Chain A
C-alpha cells in the first residue's frame, strides 16, 4: 500500500464490445470464434475501394448507455480517423470519435464497503475494434493476423481521475459493467476481452494541488489484476517520488505472472495520430425523438434496483448487491417474487434460495439464468409446497436440484420421488409412540433433565418416517409426549 501521506489518483478508460449482430461498419457477423478471417468482407478487411456504413443499433446502444449514466447526448457527433500502422489495423487507421463524441459528462455510482460513491465521466464515444495479432503461426516465428474481430463495435467510456484507490477502481468497473449488462449492450466478459480496462494512475502528496505525472496501465483482464496493477503502480510511483525522482509519463503493461507493471519494450515515438474528421461517414445525428424513445424504454438499472430491493423489500445490502450484480438474476428474482408472493417477507426467502441453492447449482453447471430449467414460477411452486407443509427443508432442496438439472414440474417430482412430507398427525404420533416405547432408558434420562436427548428422539422418529416427518409436527408431538420443555 502506498504510504499514507500519498494519494493515488486513478482514471479509467473502459472499452466495451457491443452486442450487435453485425459489425459497426459492415454486415459481417460479430460472432466470437470461427476460423480466422471467416467473418470478413472488403470493408473490415480494408480492401481498396471499401467504404464504412454505420450500423444503426450502435448509435442506439451508445445513446442508451449515455442516458443511463446521465450523459449529455450530442445531437450531432462526428467520426474521426486515428491514423497509425499496425497489422491488426487493416486500413492503417481506426475510425473513432475525437473532438465531437456522442456522449459527454455523466457519472457512475458505485459502492465501497457499503459507502456510496460517484465517479464522473468525461465522455463516451463509438469506435471500431481492431483485429487480432497472433504469435507463432508458423515454425519461423512469424505472426498471424485474424481480422474477424476488426470492425466489432466498441464503446469507449472515459472517467475523470476521480478514483482514489484500486478498490474504488474495481467497484467502479463492477458497477459500470452491471449497467452495460443490464442494458443488454455488452456481456461484460473481461477474460474474453469484451470488456477491457486501461488505467491512468498517478500519485500525489495529500493536500497537493496538482496531480502527479500519470502512467497508462494496460493488460488487466480481471478485477483482481486491475486491483493488483493499480496497487503495484501506486507503490512504484511513490517510491520514485520519495526518492526525489520524477515519474516518467509512459504506457506500461501489467504482467499478471509477476504482479508488476513494466514499461512497454518498444520505445515508440509518441504516436502522432493525425486525427481528422472521417470524410466517408456523415455526422451522426441523434434526433430528440430517438432520445425520448430510448429513454422511455430504459430498463430498471442496477443502482435503482439495489435501492428498491433494500427500501421496498427490506433485503440486506449484501443480498441486494449479489442480486443486482447480474441483471438476469435480478430479473429472475423479480419474476419469482411476483409468481410466489410479492412483499418483503417473501423477498428474503426467495433471495436466500436464489443466492444459496440456486446459485450453487448455477455455478456448478455454468448455466446462465436464461438456461436454467428451474423457472421463477417453479421456485414459487416449491416455496408454496414448503408453506403447505408438503415439503420440508431437505425435500425442497432435492426438488429444486432435480428440477434445475432435469426440468419437470415440482409437484410431480415430489410424487415421483416420494418426497412428500408426512404431516399427518396420526401417522407421526404412531411413529413417536413406537420410538418412545423402544427406548425407555432414554425417555427416563430425558425426563430427569437430559434435554439434549431430544435430538436423538427426533432422529429416530424421522428414521421411522423415512426421513419425511414434518419437523414441526414431530417436535410438537414429542414435546407433548415427553412432557415439559425440550
Chain B
C-alpha cells in the first residue's frame, strides 16, 4: 500500500502538521512500509466479528455523574499557562469566519 506525496500532504494538512519536503518524502516511504505490513489484516475474515470499541467490559463500569456543580480552576488559573492572553481570554490570531 503505497502512499503518494499528495496523500501525505492531504493528511498533514488534516493534522495541521507542516512538513518539510524532506520529511514529506521520508514519511511517504516509512508510512508506505508500515501500511504494507498492516495489509496483513486483510487476510482475516472479520465478518460477524464485533469491533472492540471499548476496552472496559460493560460490567466494570461505574455509575454516571450526578448533576452537581463543583468549583472550577478559576479564570486566572485557567489562562495562566496561555502563551498569549487578553484579560482572561485566550488570545489567538484573528479568526476569520
Contact = CB atoms under 8 A, between A and B. Distances in A.
Interface string A65-96: 00000000000001000000101000000000
A36 interface: yes
Contact of B91 (A39, A57, A137): A137
* Interface residues of chain A: helix, strand, loop or mixed (majority): loop
A87 B95 contact: yes
Nearest to B70: A27
Interface stretch (B21-29, B33-41, B58-66): B58-66
A322 to B, nearest CB: 33
A37 interface: yes
Contact of B94 (A37, A78, A135): A135
Contacts of B96: 265-266
A402 B84 CA distance: 55
> Which of B56, B73, B79 has most chain A Cβ within 10 Å?
B73
Interface in A16-30: 20-22, 27-29
A41 interface: yes
Nearest to A281: B54
Given A42-B73, A277-B53, A282-B56, A145 B89 contact: yes
> Which of A27, A28, A283 has most chain B Cβ within 10 Å?
A27
B97 A40 contact: no
Nearest to B64: A56
A203 to B, nearest CB: 26
B44 interface: no
Interface string A40-69: 111011000000011111110000000000
A41 B53 CA distance: 27
B86 A144 contact: yes
B74 interface: yes
Interface string A432-455: 000000000000000000000000
B55 interface: yes
B1 interface: no
A98 B53 CA distance: 14
A35 B65 contact: no
B14 to A, nearest CB: 6
Given A36-B75, A38-B75, A41-B73, A85 B16 contact: yes
A144 B75 contact: no
A306 to B, nearest CB: 31
B83 interface: no
A137 B89 contact: yes
B64 A38 contact: no
A264 interface: yes
Nearest to A283: B54
A38 B69 contact: no
Given A39-B72, A277-B54, A141 B94 contact: yes
B87 to A, nearest CB: 7
Contact of A285 (B55, B58, B73): B58
Contacts of A143: 91-95
A41 to B, nearest CB: 4
Contacts of B16: 85
B9 to A, nearest CB: 11
Contacts of B56: 282
A142 interface: yes
Contact of B73 (A21, A40, A55, A59): A40
Interface in A140-190: 141-147
19 contacts: A20-B67, A22-B70, A29-B72, A37-B78, A37-B79, A38-B72, A38-B78, A40-B75, A53-B64, A55-B65, A55-B66, A58-B67, A137-B87, A137-B89, A143-B91, A146-B89, A282-B56, A282-B61, A283-B58
Interface of A: 20-22, 27-29, 35-42, 44-45, 53-59, 78, 85, 87, 133-135, 137-138, 141-147, 253, 264-266, 269, 272, 274, 277, 279, 282-283, 285
Closest 10 CB pairs of A and B: A144-B89, A57-B67, A56-B64, A27-B70, A137-B86, A145-B90, A41-B72, A277-B53, A143-B95, A38-B75
Given A56-B64, A143-B94, 16 more contacts: A20-B67, A21-B67, A28-B70, A38-B74, A40-B75, A54-B64, A56-B66, A58-B67, A87-B90, A135-B95, A138-B91, A143-B91, A144-B91, A277-B54, A282-B54, A282-B61
